[in-house]
Amino acid sequence: MFGKVLIANRGEIALRIHRACQEMGIRTVAIHSLADADAMHVRLADESVCVGPAQSSQSYMNIPAILSACTVTEADAVHPGYGFLSENADFAQIVKDHGIAFIGPEPSHIGIMGDKVIARDTMLKLGIPCVPGSDGVVKDYDSAIRISDGIGYPVLIKAVNGGGGRGMRVVWCADDLLDNVKAARAEAESAFGSGAVYIEKYLSDPRHIEVQIIADRFGHVIHLGERDCSIQRRHQKLIEEAPSPIITASQRKMIGDVCTRAIKEIGYIGVGTLEFLYENGEFYFIEMNTRLQVEHPVTEESLGIDIVQEQIRVAYGEQLSPILENKEFSGHSIECRINAENSETFIPSPGIISRYHAPSGRGVRVESAIYGGYSIPPYYDSMIGKLIVHAPDRLGCIRKLQLALKEFVIDGVDTSIPLLQRIISSDYFLNGNYSVKWLENFISCGEDTT
C-alpha cells in the first residue's frame, strides 16, 4: 500500500481523505495556501507544505508547486479530491510522468469525459441514452439556429468544458438565441479558457439522478446505486439523497447495468459518476464526473462502505473489496450542504466563526473542517461542511435531519441552515415530489410550489 499520500485540496474533502488514509495506515501531506495556514487539514496531517498565496490559481492549482511538494515530502501518490485539479487530464498525466501515482482514472478518460461533446458521443456509441442535441460544437450562429429549430424550443446552451452552471443558458425562442450564445461563450471562456458550446433540448421538468460506479484494473466494475440530486439552485446542488424516492428497484438495476457495461467497455479505472436527467420514466445522460463527488457520503451511509478507501486501493492496483458485490441499500440517507452564505440573498459570508457546535447522535455524520475561532477565507467556494443523516426509512431520515439542523450551531457568519430547514419541512420535499426546477420556484414564491 502507499506509504504517503499528498492531498491536493483543502477544507472538508482534504480532511475526509486524510481520515481515510490514516485508517489505512497511510501518512498524509497537506498542501495549503497562505490563507489556509491554520486550516484543520493542515493541523492534522503528518506533514504540510505551503504552495502559494491565497488565490487558488497560485496555490491549489499551481502544478509546479504541488509537484515540488511531492518531491520534498517523497509522497507516493496524489489524491486530488474534487474541484481544483481533480478533472485536469494534464495534471494527472504530469503526476504519472514524475513517477507518482494519481488516485483517479487514467488521464485519457479524464480528457474524454471532460469534453462534454466527446463524452456525449462516446456514451451514445455505448448505448447510453442522451438528451437530443447538436452533434458537436456549435461553430456559428447559423448552425445554432438550424440545430435549435430542429430540436425545438426551449433549448439549453452548454459550455463544452463547463460545470456548476457556468456557461449555461436556457433559450425559450429564436429571438433570444444570439444574445444567449454570445453570453454563454463569454462566460465559458472566462471560467474554463474555452468558449466552445453545444446545444441540447431543455427538458421541461426533470429530476437529476446520478449513478455511482467504481472499477478496478482487473475488469471488475460495480455500480453503487443512484443518488437524487434534484434540489438545486442555479445548477448547484444543495441536498442529495440515496436512494431516490422515485426510482424503483427494477429501474435501478436497469440503469446500473447500462452504466456498468459502458464503463467496462471503455476500460475505466477508479470511481466515477454518470449523471442523468430523468423525466417520464426515461434516463438521459448529461455528463460523467471522473472524480470523487461531494455527495459520496450518502451512498456510503446507505450501503455501509468507504468509497474513498476503495478508491485508494484501486489506485494502488488492488482488486475491489468483495463486500461491494451485490450491495443493496439499507435504509435512507440525505446530505445537506452547509454554505457560508445568506439564506435569502445568497451572498457569501466569510468571517470568523465565534461559536460552533456540530450535531451528533446515531446516524448523524458531519463532514467539515471548521471550528470555533476559525476564519473562513473569502477566496474559495462558500461550502464549509456537509451534514449527512441515515435512518431505516426516508421519513425517519427527514425527521433526524430536522433535529440535526436545529442542533447545528455556527455563529459569526451567515449560513444556509435556515433555508435547508425550510426546504426539508416543505410538503413537496416530504412527499418526494420535486424536480430540478422546484427550488428556484420555492425560493422566489416563499412557499410550496411546482
Residue 367 phi/psi, 5-degree rounding, is: -110, 105
In the chain, the amino acid numbered 280 is N
**What nine digits make up the cell of 202?**
431543455
For 14, half-sphere exposure in the C-beta direction (CA atoms, 13 angstrom radius) is 27
291 a catalytic residue = yes
Letter string b/e over residues 92-112, b meaning 16 or more CB atoms within 10 A of that residue's CB: bbbbeeeebbbbbbbbebbbb
Distance of CA 200 to the CA centre of its chain: 22
Nearest-angstrom CA–CA distance, 149 and 406 = 50
The SS3 assignment for 444 reads helix
- Of 384, 404, 388, the residue nearest 340 (C-alpha): 384
Q: What pairs with residue 279 in β-bridges?
A: 282
The grid coordinates of residue 448 equal 410550496
Cis amide leading into 53 (omega within 30) = no
Round to whole Å and give the CA distance between 203 and 191. Answer: 25
Place of cell 449513478: 211
Long-range contacts of 112-118 (CB under 8 A, 24+ apart): 112/266, 113/87, 113/272, 113/287, 113/288, 113/289, 113/290, 114/87, 114/89, 114/161, 114/290, 115/160, 115/161, 116/158, 116/159, 116/160, 116/161, 116/162, 116/198, 116/287, 117/160, 117/196, 117/198
What do you get for the CA distance between the two ends of the chain, in Å? Answer: 51
> CA–CA separation, 120 vs 285, rounded Å?
8
- Give kind and range of the element (H or E) at residue 260: helix 249-266
Q: Which of 291, 313, 337, 365 is catalytic?
A: 291
Kindly report the backbone phi and psi dihedral angles of residue 99, in degrees, each rounded to the nearest multiple of 5, phi listed first.
Answer: 75, 20
Nearest to 383 by CA among 337, 344, 334, 335: 337
Rounded-to-integer distance, Cα 142 and Cα 14, Å:
46
At which residue does the C-alpha cell 477544507 appear? 11
Catalytic residues, by residue number, are 291
